[in-house]
Amino acid sequence: MKTLRLILGDQLNLQHSWYNSVEDHVCYFMAEMRQETDYAPHHIQKVVAFFLAMREFAAKLEAAGHQVIYLKLDDASNTQDLNQNLLASAESIGASRIEYQWPDEYRLDQQLDELDNQFEGVVEPVDSEHFLTSRFELREFFKGKKTYLMESFYRMMRKKHQVLMEGDQPVTGQWNYDANNRKKLPKGHRPPEPKLFERDVSSVVEMLTKSGVKTIGTLDEKRFLWPVTEEEGNELLTFFVDECMPHFGDFQDAMTPEYWSLYHSRLSFLINSKIIHPMTVIRAVEERWKADRDHASISQVEGFIRQVLGWREYMRGIYWAKMPDYASLNFFEHDRQLPSWFWDGNTKMACLRHAIKQSLEYSYAHHIQRLMVTGNFALLAGIHPDEVDQWYLGIYIDAIEWVEITNTRGMSQFADGGIVGTKPYVSSANYMKKMSSYCDNCVYDHKKKSGEGACPFNSLYWNFYDRHRDKLGRNPRIGMMYRTWDKMAPENKAALLSQANDYLNNIEAL
Ligand code: FAD
Ligand code: SF4
């Protein structure tokens, strides 16, 4: 009675109970497949990171004595289709049972569901033992509620997992330190040099090129910088706690063309591929704070824990509560195409140029670059959410649909009409000027609203509110904006709208 156990590319959790003992009748199955490289044009660093991490993981299992079938992308027997590969491998070892961990993507969930009809033996899914909530826990938590307030979910999680808690009260008496965080990077301030890794990945790149996999972005194939093993993940985590934690909250929202990751952890790929468990990250930060409260203040620590324990689990819960409908929501009925410069960064707007070029160079941008630069522009310009999703899904090393789509379509594009956010995240140049140094070296003038050289964000911002009044006018969090708009002199309003239309009609030239 042989069992074949599937391990997907984002299920690299060595601590899973599957691996507690070596069993003769169990064989593990992993495969690099075109069905995964081709569902969006991915960044080359993302594809390389996943394949490398999978190969390292398979090698660890084998070294521990487990049996592993590993299909490389160019293996002759690789059908490039998950179920066909699985069925063929099951037959080759005479397996009467296939087990898999619940996948985190809806499309894979559907695909693996079909195994029941395709395989004559027993098919059994098990938990991935990764998340801190079950698939439908958030849906149950908010049952009967119209709004899904992250803050109440987060407080429940703090209590449930006893993180920064004393009984059912926050350890410092305060739940939320958002107000203390979010400063601009002072002139001359130098964040720590990011901890990078080095690997020669030319053989993987050669395989991708020969196979004709289409990718975006660049990489240095002699010095691949992302960590792909648990040991490297722990090194990056230690670096984060030692060097970045002290200012994480302070500069969480800051942006500058000089530094690409500032005080951010860059742990998202490791956590999303399950190489590192979210609770390992949370406890490392919490324990360090408990041991040495002078190292990093509670506002830095709570600000970080909120992201992992709160936002990450919340997004995953929203995904399973709202899929598959979520993937086609388009509240504003936006229908414009992404301008072509989203794919090469060749725009005159300094903020977008930097955020996009950085993303192409590192397969990474931090949260505020994603939300308030690229996302903000896409929303103001009325880009179709499908186009926006495809871009985010492809370009970032940490992009897996459950966390990409909820952040992009939900938080950033408000295409869900307010499930994730209570109002759209849009801003004029004021925000960019306040939180970044981008505007200092831009051909556009951040103070100018219309006319020659006016910053596009200014007119697009008012144009957005004006054209969506029927959908946003009654939102109590936006009332102020409409009162300001209504008080504006008619000629100023007309100039703003005409400027915005001009920019939208010439979007490729911006
Ligand atoms: P840090 O700033 O160091 O934060 C620590 C950790 O908190 C992250 O590693 C991540 O695990 C978690 N986290 C923080 N914010 C969020 C959030 N909003 N949702 C879920 N987890 C969060 N994150 C992804 O992991 N994959 C995506 O595809 C993705 N797409 C995004 C698209 C848009 C439009 C936006 C606005 C955000 C997106 N995010 C996504 C969330 C966030 O931007 C990234 O998690 C973060 O930038 C990763 O970098 P980091 O590890 O340095 O994060
Ligand atoms: Fe971006 Fe406008 Fe500032 Fe230029 S002036 S960097 S386009 S916000």
pLDDT at 244: 98
Token readout for 499 is 């400027």
pLDDT at 180: 84
Token readout for 204 is 């993987």
Question: What is the average pLDDT score of the chain?
Answer: 97
CATH number, domain of 222, equals 1.25.40.80
The verdict on the CB of residue 460 being under 6 Å from ligand 2 is no
Amino acid, single-letter form, for residue 239? F
Give me the count of residues in the chain: 510
Quick check: 147 pLDDT over 90? no
| Cβ(84)–Cβ(91) below 8 Å | no
**Same domain assignment for residues 348 and 489:** yes
The verdict on the CB of residue 455 being under 6 Å from ligand 2 is yes
Q: Residues 123-134: what's their mean pLDDT? A: 97
**Same domain assignment for residues 191 and 217:** yes
* Four-point Cα dihedral 156, 158, 161, 167, nearest 10: -100
pLDDT at 181: 81
**Same domain assignment for residues 99 and 52:** yes
The verdict on the CB of residue 53 being under 6 Å from ligand 2 is no
Whether 395 is covered by a domain: the verdict is yes
Which atom of ligand 2 has the smallest separation from the CA of 446?
5
- State percent of the chain over pLDDT 90: 98
Atom 2 of ligand 2, residue of closest alpha carbon: 455
Quick check: 146 pLDDT over 90? no
Q: Which single residue is written with the structure tokens 């006893």? A: 162
Whether 402 is covered by a domain: the verdict is yes
The verdict on the CB of residue 350 being under 6 Å from ligand 2 is yes
DSSP 8-state symbol, 448: -
For residue 182, the CA-to-ligand 1 centroid distance in Å is 16
Q: Residues 23-34: what's their mean pLDDT? A: 98
Whether 468 is covered by a domain: the verdict is yes
Whether 163 is covered by a domain: the verdict is yes
**Same domain assignment for residues 94 and 181:** no
For residue 227, the CA-to-ligand 2 centroid distance in Å is 33
**Same domain assignment for residues 247 and 185:** yes
Is 425 exposed, middle or buried (CB count within 10 Å of its CB: 0-12, 13-18, 19+)? middle
Count of domains in the chain? 3
The verdict on the CB of residue 454 being under 6 Å from ligand 2 is no
**Same domain assignment for residues 359 and 465:** yes
Q: Which of 265, 490, 235, 218 is nearest to 361 (CA)?
A: 218
For residue 375, the CA-to-ligand 1 centroid distance in Å is 13
Q: Residues 163-185: what's their mean pLDDT? A: 93
d(CA 12, CA 276) in angstroms, rounded, equals: 9
**Same domain assignment for residues 67 and 147:** no
Quick one: which ligand is closest to 396's CA? 1
Compute CA distances 269 → 71, 120, 206, 375, 396, whole Å. Answer: 22, 36, 23, 20, 9
For residue 218, the CA-to-ligand 2 centroid distance in Å is 25
- Of 101, 126, 151, the residue that ends a domain is 126
Quick one: which ligand is closest to 319's CA? 1
d(CA 415, CA 330) in angstroms, rounded, equals: 5
188 sits in the region (left: phi over 0; alpha: psi -120 to 50; else beta) called left
Compute CA distances 9 → 2, 29, 103, whole Å. Answer: 23, 11, 10
CATH number, domain of 9, equals 3.40.50.620
**Same domain assignment for residues 65 and 13:** yes
pLDDT at 45: 98
- Orientation angle between helical segments 490-505 and 456-467, nearest 10 degrees: 110
Residues with CB under 6 A from ligand 1: 264-268, 271-272, 307-308, 311-312, 315, 366-367, 370-371, 375, 392, 396, 398-399, 403-404, 407-408, 411-412
Which atom of ligand 1 has the smallest separation from the CA of 400?
28
Q: Ligand 1, from 367, 397, 409: best to mutate by most atoms within 8 Å of Cβ?
A: 367
Which atom of ligand 1 has the smallest separation from the CA of 398?
26
Whether 334 is covered by a domain: the verdict is no
Please, which pLDDT band fits residue 429 given cuts at 50, 70 and 90?
very high
Amino acid, single-letter form, for residue 412? S
**Same domain assignment for residues 427 and 289:** no
Whether 176 is covered by a domain: the verdict is yes
Name the 3-class secondary structure at 329: coil
Q: State the residue range of the domain holding 15.
A: 3-126
CATH number, domain of 365, equals 1.10.579.10
Token readout for 189 is 């301030």
Q: Which single residue is written with the structure tokens 């997992």? A: 161
Please, which pLDDT band fits residue 194 given cuts at 50, 70 and 90?
very high
220-269 pLDDT, tens digit each: 999 999 999 999 999 999 999 999 999 999 999 999 999 999 999 999 99
Atom 36 of ligand 1, residue of closest alpha carbon: 371
pLDDT at 135: 95
43 DSSP β-pair partners: 216
63-95 pLDDT, tens digit each: 999 999 999 999 999 999 999 999 999 999 999
Give the global pTM: 0.97
- Of 267, 289, 322, the residue that ends a domain is 322
Atom 5 of ligand 2, residue of closest alpha carbon: 446
Q: Which of 250, 254, 168, 218 is nearest to 358 (CA)?
A: 218
Quick one: which ligand is closest to 355's CA? 2
| Cβ(370)–Cβ(20) below 8 Å | no
**Same domain assignment for residues 62 and 164:** no
For residue 408, the CA-to-ligand 1 centroid distance in Å is 11
Whether 331 is covered by a domain: the verdict is no
Q: Ligand 2, from 341, 348, 351: best to mutate by most atoms within 8 Å of Cβ?
A: 351
Quick check: 369 pLDDT over 90? yes
Q: Residues 143-164: what's their mean pLDDT? A: 94
d(CA 397, CA 359) in angstroms, rounded, equals: 9
Quick check: 178 pLDDT over 90? no
d(CA 248, CA 105) in angstroms, rounded, equals: 30
For residue 509, the CA-to-ligand 2 centroid distance in Å is 15
Which atom of ligand 2 has the smallest separation from the CA of 373?
1
Atom 42 of ligand 1, residue of closest alpha carbon: 367
| Cβ(89)–Cβ(69) below 8 Å | yes
**Same domain assignment for residues 370 and 435:** yes
The verdict on the CB of residue 503 being under 6 Å from ligand 2 is no
Which atom of ligand 2 has the smallest separation from the CA of 458?
2
For residue 437, the CA-to-ligand 2 centroid distance in Å is 9
Whether 435 is covered by a domain: the verdict is yes
d(CA 77, CA 64) in angstroms, rounded, equals: 26
202-215 pLDDT, tens digit each: 999 999 999 999 99
d(CA 306, CA 325) in angstroms, rounded, equals: 27
Question: CA angle, corner 305, sides to 371 and 478, nearest 5?
Answer: 40
d(CA 420, CA 429) in angstroms, rounded, equals: 24
Q: Residues 118-141: what's their mean pLDDT? A: 96
